[in-house]
Structure 1
């Protein structure tokens, strides 16, 4: 700035503090001091918000003086291109206002309050307006910011003499760039037309222009930070609070509102009354079981969605969950990129931003710096697309309570019908399985009969062998007794004869018994041998029939397992459906009772009028002498566009 004597003065402290504090604070012009905006009646503010305020007060912005490129390291072509690309930098009407400035500084809390009071249709329309406003700002930034211009000025700033060569050679982060620009601002002076210059320095024109550009650049980064803050408060948080059902996902923090995505759909009824400490401890004890029950119900609903299309329409939130997860991840990336100025992580950059700067010839560190604002704008554009996709999925769902109730009732009836059918099938299949199991048991025993007969034959043969040995012993005893009887008879010993006769008869009886046993064992062996031959002949057919019966039993068991699992899934799925049906019925009945009471409250019954209020209307005269009241505006809720 120059005084009346023409001597330059140092750049005001305001311009220096703008970069010193990272342009994070709102600054106001020091108007009326006779030095800043009163010089020749023209605005010389560096901050473009201040220029707009000056313009609103009738102070015309000063133009930029013509500068030459003699003796500077920036080429003439680069200098010309930088002036063309930074034309919006010279434009004092460049809009750095965010979405919050368009609606009388309405904060995010007021917006959420409005969303809470609005119906579903108006809530969706308001969110579409917020997304459109955010998209307009992002498009303006994409059209205005040129990475080529930033690259040119970074390269020019690095070539400025009389500065630390190590710092100048490594301008790879916002913090380093801010530090270098601060050093230049401490040596700067300001002309009366608002431009800055560096007296007594080489390449003063380049230094002045670079410094002026980077003042704007940090203001632009501050603007993107404010734009992201507005996005979080006015789009991101309302989407998660009013357009996303998190209770159904197992979270405990859902805000139940009358205008949530599914209203009472797909959420379980929870009493909202005050609870004491005992209830709180009880809730902690049952939270695991409740979460398990909700997860099981969600799984059951998703398994049944292939068969029942209404389940997908009413309860499937997989697409919204995917969009919400991607948007949340994108928001976290932008938060980190805006907060971390000392170091830039290139892994956070998207591939789309690389395509926008790939034509620039620069080293890796400079590319990371130049690519930062470009990648932020690309991520903003992607956030717009995800927000629009979220709202499109939300608008596809029916918001009519009667329609929702009709779908829930139809779905409940279909599931109940299917459940009864499964109960009948399970009973019939269990009886058939029991019958087939008994048959299989008999067939398994029949298969083992040949082995049993083989054991029987083995036992019979062993027993017969023992009996034959005993019979042979008795026969030898008989022969001995016969010889003794002959000898005793020849000698005439009657006493010994009678004794030998008794032993002989005993031997005869024993031999008879053994012979009978051997005959019986022989018959048993014959029968067992014939049965074994028959079983061996029938065994292949028996095995095939047994396998068929076994396969039938396994198939019945599998069918019963699937039917019981489907029955359990339907029973679990019916729990939230029945709760939703009761909730919707209660809402509709409450709405009907409210409408009925509001209509009945306006009626005047005989004997109930205590006074009559006279309404004064302007009554224009009519040809017949009568006058009709003019139309009046009924006081009530302000429509959403008027908020």
Structure 2
């Protein structure tokens, strides 16, 4: 069943429901109910300050009926008992009509005119099933119809005779016409949480608002029929006050007096909301091709956004890599003052060692000089020995002194470097901290972009699935537009085209094989010609003549224009 037909049937159901409720309302007398309630509550044997629930009415009527049994009693008392027996059955019938509204109007609206995966409306089906039947679905409506003198509009019995069967809620949920698998609404709902700006044109807030209004109205409507629940002010609509404000001294039983008028008010509101639901759906409904195009646009935008995100991630990763390297370099520069201090300590230690060594050499040199002065004979062996020792010691002193000077110069440079590093260290520390903060911000941005990348990738999975499903439906819809005879012709043409393509492919493969064999034959002829000293032109001319005749076959795609026939 297409959407237009289904929508038309739903409008007919709503109109029939409204007509039947109007007939019931026109036959109900609020004045009679007021008189009977006043008579019931004025009984001297009844001590009751307020009448607020149907169970209280039922209890009072049963008690009054027992009191009148076996006695003649007053006629008005017996009429009162008969009236309230009818009234309770009448309320039960109104409750059954409410159940019929749920099954014949509300359930199809949720099933066919709303995405049941929408989280704002999710659970409506379970709420429907959980409410149950307060009074039972199998009641005798003929007694009520005869007492209200209502005319069969095609809704009263028609709505109820299928209750619990093919038109029950479970049947709607599991019906063959129900859509299965992920749909456009559910897919967009997944994306709407993370990409609200992208899906703003496809939002259905108005329809969601109407659906929630109708759901809340139904819950309050259903509470009116619960016998043991007191009818409170928040369960009733304000409009029902004007229905009974002309009746005096009705404060103590006003909830019961307002109950039936309030049911009719809620029924009218429910019908208006259901009709508004259909109007919004008609205004926002899209054909399968439109949905396919829209979801293709969304997929394109998301894939483009994914490309931008991936490009941004790569750029930030490169920037983070450079920043990390710079931070490592700055940290090393920051530790250079400590390194210079350690080097300075080593140089000072070396200088102290050299100074000590230099003093030792100086003492040794003085000692040798003293002995040389005592030796008069310069040509003696002992004198020459001390003289060589003196020269050796003096040379060592010079070497040590030179090394000491070098170390002292090195210490001066290290000390200057250390002072400079200590002066620059606060600036380096501040700059390093800034670079580290930049790297941390880059890491946070990368984490967000990676999370966004994962979200887009996750969102694209149901989107692609939805697009594929819609494409299949569009193709199937195109096939369904043709008659069976046209479909057979299309299938025959498709098979014929496939056969032509297959034949052409085989011919081309045959041509390719012939060309390869011809080339191999020409190669053999060429080799044979090289080995033959005479008759070379004859072989070549004959080969080329034969090749040109065969080439005519290949150039004409297997058809010889001279013989007007195919070569095989």
TM-score (norm 2): 0.61
Is the counterpart of residue 128 in structure 1 residue 16 in structure 2? no
* Runs of at least 5 residues in structure 1 that lack an aligned partner in the other structure: 1-117, 190-197, 268-293, 604-643
Q: Summarize the Cα distance change of 1:554–1:187 in structure 2 as closer, same or farther, 3 Å threshold.
A: closer
Matches within 5 A, 1:479-518: 479=366, 485=371, 489=375, 511-512=397-398, 514-518=400-404
Matches within 5 A, 1:69-468: 118-136=1-19, 150=33, 153-161=36-44, 163=45, 165-166=46-47, 168-169=48-49, 171-186=51-66, 199=72, 201=74, 205=76, 207-208=77-78, 210-247=80-117, 260=179, 264-266=183-185, 298-309=189-200, 312-313=201-202, 316=203, 320=207, 324=211, 327-328=214-215, 330-339=217-226, 341-344=227-230, 346=232, 349=235, 352=238, 366=253, 369-370=256-257, 372-373=259-260, 376-377=263-264, 379-381=266-268, 383-384=270-271, 386-468=273-355
Verify the 8 A CA contact 1:245 1:260 in the aligned structure 2.
no
Verify the 8 A CA contact 1:261 1:394 in the aligned structure 2.
no
Verify the 8 A CA contact 2:52 2:231 in the aligned structure 1.
no
| CA displacement at 1:230 relative to structure 2 | 1.0
| CA displacement at 1:173 relative to structure 2 | 2.8
Show CA shifts across 1:526-553 (max 9, x none): 2223334444555576567656655654
2:414 counterpart (523, 528, 538):
528
Distance, in Å, in 1 between the alignment partners of 2:243 and 2:382 is 138
Q: 1:590 is matched with which residue?
A: 476
Matches within 5 A, 1:27-66: none
Q: Summarize the Cα distance change of 1:395–1:508 in structure 2 as closer, same or farther, 3 Å threshold.
A: farther
Is the counterpart of residue 564 in structure 1 residue 434 in structure 2? no
| CA displacement at 1:416 relative to structure 2 | 3.0
| CA displacement at 1:517 relative to structure 2 | 4.0
CA RMSD of aligned residues (A): 4.8
Q: Secondary structure at the match of 1:399?
A: coil
Distance, in Å, in 1 between the alignment partners of 2:195 and 2:6 is 31
Verify the 8 A CA contact 2:192 2:199 in the aligned structure 1.
no
Show CA shifts across 1:307-337 (max 9, x none): 355xx52xx5666556555544554454454
Distance, in Å, in 1 between the alignment partners of 2:429 and 2:456 is 40
| CA displacement at 1:234 relative to structure 2 | 0.8
Q: Secondary structure at the match of 1:183?
A: helix
Q: Summarize the Cα distance change of 1:496–1:332 in structure 2 as closer, same or farther, 3 Å threshold.
A: farther
Q: Summarize the Cα distance change of 1:440–1:350 in structure 2 as closer, same or farther, 3 Å threshold.
A: farther
Distance, in Å, in 2 between the alignment partners of 1:170 and 1:469 is 117
Show CA shifts across 1:143-176 (max 9, x none): 7768787566434312223x3x44x456443223
Q: Secondary structure at the match of 1:303?
A: coil
Q: Secondary structure at the match of 2:184?
A: coil
Verify the 8 A CA contact 2:115 2:183 in the aligned structure 1.
no
| CA displacement at 1:233 relative to structure 2 | 1.1
Q: Secondary structure at the match of 2:406?
A: helix
Count of residue pairs the alignment pairs up: 439
Verify the 8 A CA contact 2:64 2:81 in the aligned structure 1.
yes
Show CA shifts across 1:252-272 (max 9, x none): 9975866759994356xxxxx
Higher share of residues assigned helix:
2
Distance, in Å, in 2 between the alignment partners of 1:375 and 1:474 is 123
Distance, in Å, in 2 between the alignment partners of 1:464 and 1:389 is 99
Verify the 8 A CA contact 1:221 1:373 in the aligned structure 2.
yes
TM-score (norm 1): 0.55
Distance, in Å, in 1 between the alignment partners of 2:317 and 2:274 is 53
Is the counterpart of residue 580 in structure 1 residue 466 in structure 2? yes
Show CA shifts across 1:157-211 (max 9, x none): 12223x3x44x4564432232122133345669xxxxxxxx8555xx64x35543
Q: Secondary structure at the match of 1:304?
A: coil
* Runs of at least 5 residues in structure 2 that lack an aligned partner in the other structure: 126-169, 490-568
Higher mean displacement: 255-264 or 369-378: 255-264
Q: Secondary structure at the match of 2:404?
A: helix
Distance, in Å, in 2 between the alignment partners of 1:470 and 1:146 is 130
Q: Summarize the Cα distance change of 1:225–1:497 in structure 2 as closer, same or farther, 3 Å threshold.
A: farther
1:600 counterpart (476, 482, 486):
486
